[in-house]
Amino acid sequence: TYVVTENCIKCKYMDCVEVCPVDCFYEGENMLVIHPDECIDCGVCEPECPAEAIKPDAEPGLEMWLKLNADMAKSWPNITVKKEPPSDAKEFDGVAGKYETYFS
Ligand code: SF4
Ligand code: F3S
């Protein structure tokens, strides 16, 4: 499965949603997650994310994010159409510590 990681927070560009063939993205207020049981590992979303927030779960160190994607996908609503990204998305690209401050 692929995993949405910290840099999505407050960037939330949603380009990923447009390309996913199985519509397995779920929407929180400040970020999206991928449902790990629905993702078919096609990989097309990874290069589409302007914030480079999507990673294959084979990458080391993503355990926390894999668990967060799995947990949140159970309660957040499915999103299949890209919306308007936050107007200040660029300002948050690459900012450290976004999980602690802004996760929701
Ligand atoms: Fe969707 Fe493919 Fe990305 Fe999985 S890897 S979330 S199936 S676009
Ligand atoms: Fe987030 Fe990137 Fe999608 S910022 S909403 S994972 S395009």
Cα 74-93-100 angle, rounded to 5 deg? 55
pLDDT in the model for residue 8: 98
pLDDT in tens, 31-59: 999 999 999 999 999 999 999 999 999 99
Give the residue-averaged pLDDT of 66-80: 98
51 in contact with ligand 2, CB cutoff 6 A: yes
Whether pLDDT at 21 is above 90: yes
What is the percent of the chain where pLDDT is above 70? 100
Residue 102 buriedness (CB in 10 A; 0-12 / 13-18 / 19+): middle
Whether pLDDT at 83 is above 90: yes
Give the residue-averaged pLDDT of 52-74: 97
**Mutation probe of ligand 1 site: the residue of 8, 22, 37 with most atoms within 8 A of C-beta:** 22
- Ligand 1 centre from 7 Cα, in Å? 17
Q: What is the pTM of this model?
A: 0.97
- Ligand 1 centre from 88 Cα, in Å? 26
Tell me the two tokens of residue 52. 């480079």
Amino acid at 56: P
Cα 16-22-25 angle, rounded to 5 deg? 45
ipTM above 0.95, yes or no: yes
Whether pLDDT at 104 is above 90: no
Nearest protein CA to atom 3 of ligand 1, as residue? 45
